[in-house]
Chains A and B, each alone.
Chain A
Amino acid sequence: GAGVSQTPSNKVTEKGKYVELRCDPISGHTALYWYRQSLGQGPEFLIYFQGTGAADDSGLPNDRFFAVRPEGSVSTLKIQRTERGDSAVYLCASSLEGTSGRPYYNEQFFGPGTRLTVL
């Protein structure tokens, strides 16, 4: 596809359940980001992948959250023992490899998000 795709678009689950959210980045983009957007807030950084490895997971709120990108393309965000406070839109973005020291911003292209509701 032409853009970043995310599945499912909506996910409703019960408190305590396990969920997986999938992101399919733009072909050729080596950098992949996960953000969480709560109602009325801006996106909040969760984790960044460069290739297969998580280069920065400082935004993951706790050890219930985990993300993988085993082949350097598709990524899955996994949430264990979901809580009502996890309800939000989970956004994925991808970009070309980051540059260093140059005044050029590698645009992050966002997917439409997965709307997670924990009952």
Chain B
Amino acid sequence: QKEVEQDPGPLSVPEGAIVSLNCTYSNSAFQYFMWYRQYSRKGPELLMYTYSSGNKEDGRFTAQVDKSSKYISLFIRDSQPSDSATYLCAMSRPGGYQKVTFGTGTKLQVIP
């Protein structure tokens, strides 16, 4: 079993829809929870991160972490065609450096 599980999709939604992406994990030592966005033939770019449990909001994006369930989510409001990309959840332990463990990635397409 992988440390981080993520549904690969693909997920297709109409423009303006609310998108929900999620991951589960098994390693209780993870304390940093990140969401990266990756466009085709590009490197991943960090969208947002959360330390430990809780919610974090940044514009149209909201990240949620439930450590008791080992479950994290990313919500995208008012989705736009430019949001079409692969979304990778990622996690790491605390410490002097942060080796990151990624999920498989969910491919999202927002239809105009």
Contacts and interface: CB of A to CB of B under 8 A. Distances in A.
B101 A45 contact: yes
Contact of A98 (B34, B49, B90, B97): B97
Listed from nearest, the 8 A-B pairs whose CB atoms lie closest are A110-B43, A42-B102, A98-B97, A103-B51, A105-B49, A100-B96, A98-B96, A43-B102
Contacts, number: 69
B32 A105 contact: yes
Given A41-B104, A42-B104, A42-B105, A56 B99 contact: yes
9 contacts: A43-B44, A45-B99, A45-B100, A98-B96, A99-B96, A103-B52, A104-B51, A111-B43, A112-B41
Interface residues of B, number: 29
- Chain A, interface residues (CB within 8 Å), range: 20 to 34
A56 B92 CA distance: 14
A19 B5 CA distance: 32
Nearest to B2: A42
